[in-house]
Chain A
């Protein structure tokens, strides 16, 4: 029986049971409330339905909490218990190998069609593991059932004519709503905690300074972890992207908000936004298939010019320039729509003031509107830079893998995000410096983009307040 439970897809089953329990509790609560009212439900403080909701809530909330805790900690409890039962010689292997051993066993144990391997210890351990899982599940379910029953009786005992069931239910709903809002915070905490945790593990093996300031990167071999070439590649490509996106996005925004007729605006704006809706992997394909060859042949052509030294440009099949150009196209709508917003937020009275002085449209834009919108525009550009730094697929597909520092944009460069993908794709063990370095890179990426975003959001907020 333990084995059966060890294999069963308990989650779906439990969900059904919980739903049924809630429904039953609702019905009981409601009936009881109607009984209390003796047919005059308007005498009750709250409608019978709310009494029903209350009892249902009291029933499932404790059970749900217990099951949630089990989901979080169940497996690690089972593993801890299992590890303590293993023979001494396996436990002596050390945390890393012990963990891998248990991984193998748990993987074998969870396969329903698993057959004996012939290794007596392994098979016995596998059986034991299945049993432990089953046991833990039964314990969790029993606990949940007890909690549900307790909650059910507690809920019923509270019902009475003056019981403010509706207020209680609404408190419950409000709490649930709050929990949902808190998930956003939890996500951030999760991101920071996991990145920081793994990054610290990485820095316990590799010196922080040699990571931040080293100029050699050979993570695949686990040899060198100097991230400067990655930072360089990241910022060079982001810079190239901004060279494309900033002028095009800004001028588009100015034209759309100051010059274009409503008709033109209503056509062009969605087209620009279309650029933002195209998945980045599509841009990556475009960069790889069409832009990179053009960049390469142009570079070869430049190399062939008489006054250019041989091999002046690297002319690689994937290049920083190809990735940067396409990324710039991708970012245009971010710059243009954010700038459009801030330009539109500049009060009309300022424009009127300039027009009334006899300023032309472009003079008004250049000397009055843009200076007024400057903080907002800078914020828009900052957000765009942050976007460029964190963009992954375009660079993964079109920028290359070589960690090098060169100002030649036709060379293949690598970036933070490219390396994260390269390090974490395929088989990953969470204990090698190679894998952990991806988290250290992720941490740097997160902090840098966070700073950009925070500044930008703050500036935008201040700017909005100024004109509202």
Chain B
């Protein structure tokens, strides 16, 4: 297992050298997901570019969230779920049983549909990840990590005076940005966002979208969204899912202006969904 992990960590650095033109960060090959006997994802292959925002769109229950959860192996936490196929991240197959999901998840952050701050202080929410992974060696360093993360999430100015207040006391939009800050704090390479704005009002949504646009420069971001406008606004690439299948995948601009598939066209123009 150690050997495998080394492979995983080494290839990462070798892939990083090649950053010139939109390198592939995540390469999914023939992914199937079963919930018990039910096949939720059918044979999806997809390449996701680094330093860009990729949007997954599609009607409810099309499997886009399930597919997203493959990328940090969150499906492992569901008893009945079974994932087959290969997902290469910087050349290493993360579905390999030898890969430790704990290590994987420290490199692939995730933001959920409903803001889910831990019932702790704002500070501890951010510090949680660095603490368990041992990323900061002292109080000063931790303070710095917390401040940096909150700044990157655009929340620092709003909360700097009440870092010890409970995270659950923030407004919905603030909570979600706190969750983003929490994900950033462990310096991930990929950030998965599962409908991060669905529980927020338009103003908070606008702030999060702005934030996503800024984060794009540093991270590979994959976002699942219900809102076509949001996908059009924030993403560079868009994948359209339907009934567990990937129907179409390409540049966002092209998908929204000139989709190849009739079904994509129908969905985008609001004829179903």
Contacts and interface: CB of A to CB of B under 8 A. Distances in A.
Interface of A: 261-262, 347, 349-360, 363, 367-368, 371-372
A360 B109 CA distance: 15
Contact of A359 (B72, B102, B109): B102
B251 to A, nearest CB: 28
Contacts of A367: 118, 128, 132
Contacts of A347: 116
Q: Which one of A347, A355, A358 has the highest number of Cβ atoms from chain B below 10 Å of its Cβ? A: A358
A355 B100 CA distance: 12
B132 A353 contact: no
Given A357-B186, A358-B103, A358-B133, A349 B116 contact: yes
Given A261-B79, A262-B79, A358-B103, A350 B118 contact: yes
Interface string B94-108: 000000011111110
B74 interface: yes
Contact of B105 (A350, A358, A372): A358
A466 to B, nearest CB: 9
A363 to B, nearest CB: 5
Contacts of B116: 347, 349-350, 352-353
Contacts of B113: 349
B77 A371 contact: no
Nearest to B73: A355
Given A371-B119, A372-B119, A356 B110 contact: yes
Contact of B132 (A261, A351, A352, A357): A357
Contacts, number: 73
B59 interface: no
B112 A352 contact: yes
Contacts of B101: 355
Given A350-B119, A356-B72, A356-B74, 19 more contacts: A262-B79, A347-B116, A350-B118, A352-B110, A352-B112, A354-B118, A355-B77, A356-B109, A356-B192, A357-B105, A357-B106, A357-B109, A358-B132, A359-B128, A360-B102, A360-B132, A371-B119, A371-B120, A372-B119
Q: Which one of B114, B116, B128, B183 has the highest number of Cβ atoms from chain A below 10 Å of its Cβ? A: B116
17 contacts: A349-B113, A349-B114, A350-B118, A353-B112, A353-B117, A353-B118, A353-B182, A354-B118, A355-B77, A355-B101, A357-B109, A357-B128, A357-B132, A358-B107, A358-B186, A367-B128, A371-B120
A351 B112 CA distance: 11
B23 interface: no
Given A261-B79, A353-B116, A372-B119, A358 B106 contact: yes
A353 B113 CA distance: 11
Contacts of A350: 116, 118-119
Contacts of A359: 102, 105, 128-129, 132
Nearest to A351: B77
Contacts of B79: 261-262
Contacts of A357: 105-106, 109, 128-129, 132, 182-183, 186
Nearest to B114: A349
A363 B74 contact: no
B179 interface: yes
Contacts of A368: 118-119
A interface secondary structure, majority? helix
A462 to B, nearest CB: 13
A395 to B, nearest CB: 39
Given A261-B79, A353-B179, A358 B118 contact: no
Contacts of A354: 118, 128
Contact of B74 (A261, A355, A360, A371): A355
Nearest to B124: A367
A442 B103 CA distance: 58
B33 to A, nearest CB: 17
Nearest to A350: B116
A352 B74 contact: yes
A360 B128 CA distance: 12
Given A349-B116, A352-B112, A358 B129 contact: yes
A351 B119 CA distance: 12
A358 B109 CA distance: 8
A349 B112 contact: yes
Nearest to B80: A262
Contact of A363 (B72, B120, B132, B186): B132
Nearest to A357: B129
Nearest to A360: B102
Contacts of A356: 72, 74, 105, 109-110, 112, 183, 192
Contacts of A355: 74, 77, 101, 105
Contacts of A360: 102, 132
Nearest to B110: A356
Contacts of B186: 357-358
Nearest to B111: A356
A350 B125 CA distance: 12
Contacts of B74: 352, 355-356
A355 B109 CA distance: 10
Q: 9 shortest A-B CB distances, which residue pairs?
A: A358-B106, A356-B110, A358-B105, A349-B116, A357-B129, A353-B116, A372-B119, A358-B102, A368-B118
Interface string B172-204: 000000010011001000001000000000000
B109 to A, nearest CB: 7
Contacts of A372: 118-119
Contacts of B112: 349, 352-353, 356
Nearest to B105: A358
Nearest to B72: A356
Contacts of B106: 357-358
Contacts of B117: 353
Contacts of A353: 112, 116-118, 179, 182
Interface in B132-150: 132-133
